[in-house]
């Protein structure tokens, strides 16, 4: 299994080096390459820790960055799985690849109304300033899913299906924009639990419909 980790941000700072070390340690038993995407020429920040197979500079918003990189390098991207990663993410346990679907974007939920119950399945409602956001409600039917946009995993099948075709919109590219774009492109959405902390504001993953725990 070949994996490409795409570390994407407006800029790369040395304060996030520990997060990159943790990520690299969790993936050390896999065949992994790294890509760094930035609005600035600051790729040297992580190069003492990881070897960058790809460096991509772009002034665009976050989703446009990813789509442009994939489109421009598609012929070179011979990987099974792709991980989109923000440097402010501290993984608190390994990624469970057994929970992933190869026909979907795999991520935590930002908003969810439906029957699933998933430990660490929300990007909000965990310890930190977003603890009481809500946006999670049980329903016997799946009524609404908005996926998190800071950390998601997808298979090469999603690229082949057009999930990351270039986009021209350069307004706000938040979770809602990501999810709506994938829906328009007929890409499935799969919620998974990922135990992590977003160190930018010290927010940890919350649970999805598991308030009794």
Provide the pLDDT for residue 212. Answer: 41
pLDDT tens-digit readout, 148-192: 999 999 999 999 999 999 999 989 999 999 999 999 999 999 999
pTM comes to 0.96
**Coil, strand or helix at 183:** helix
Q: Provide the CATH topology of domain 2-208.
A: Spore Coat Polysaccharide Biosynthesis Protein SpsA; Chain A (3.90.550)
Convert the pLDDT of each residue in 70-122 to its tens digit.
Answer: 999 999 999 999 999 999 999 999 999 999 999 999 999 999 999 999 999 99
What does each C-alpha distance from 213 to 96, 110, 120, 208 come to in angstroms? Answer: 21, 19, 11, 11
Averaged pLDDT, 24-28: 96
Q: Domain residue spans in the chain?
A: 2-208
For residue 213, the model assigns a pLDDT of 40
Phi then psi dihedrals of residue 11, to 5 deg: -150, 155
Handedness of CA 106, 108, 112, 118 (dihedral sign): positive
- How high is the pLDDT of residue 111? 98
Q: Are the CB atoms for 88 and 198 separated by under 8 Å?
A: yes
Q: How high is the mean pLDDT of the chain?
A: 96
Nearest to 163 by CA among 192, 144, 188: 188
Mean pLDDT of the 55-75 span: 97
The percent of residues in the chain predicted with pLDDT above 90, rounded, is 98
Percentage with pLDDT > 70 across the chain: 99
- Average pLDDT, stretch 24-46? 97
pLDDT at residue 211, rounded to an integer: 72
């Amino acid at each position: 299994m070949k994996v490409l980790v795409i570390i994407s941000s407006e800029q790369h700072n040395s304060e996030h080096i520990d997060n990159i070390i943790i990520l690299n340690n969790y993936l050390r038993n896999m065949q992994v390459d790294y890509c760094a995407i930035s609005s600035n020429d600051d790729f040297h920040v992580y190069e003492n820790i990881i070897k960058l197979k790809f460096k991509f500079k772009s002034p665009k918003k976050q989703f446009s960055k990813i789509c442009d990189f994939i489109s421009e390098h598609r012929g070179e991207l011979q990987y099974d799985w792709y991980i989109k990663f923000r440097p402010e993410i501290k993984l608190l346990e390994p990624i469970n690849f057994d929970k992933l679907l190869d026909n979907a974007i795999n991520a935590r939920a930002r908003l969810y109304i439906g029957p699933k119950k998933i430990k660490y399945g929300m990007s909000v409602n965990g310890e930190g300033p977003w603890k009481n956001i809500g946006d999670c409600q049980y329903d016997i039917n799946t009524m609404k899913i908005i996926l998190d946009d800071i950390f998601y995993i997808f298979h090469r099948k999603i690229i082949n299906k057009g999930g990351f075709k270039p986009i021209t919109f350069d307004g706000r590219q938040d979770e809602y924009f990501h999810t709506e774009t994938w829906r328009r492109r007929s890409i499935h959405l799969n919620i998974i639990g990922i135990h992590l902390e977003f160190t930018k504001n010290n927010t940890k993953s919350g649970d999805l419909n598991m308030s009794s725990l």
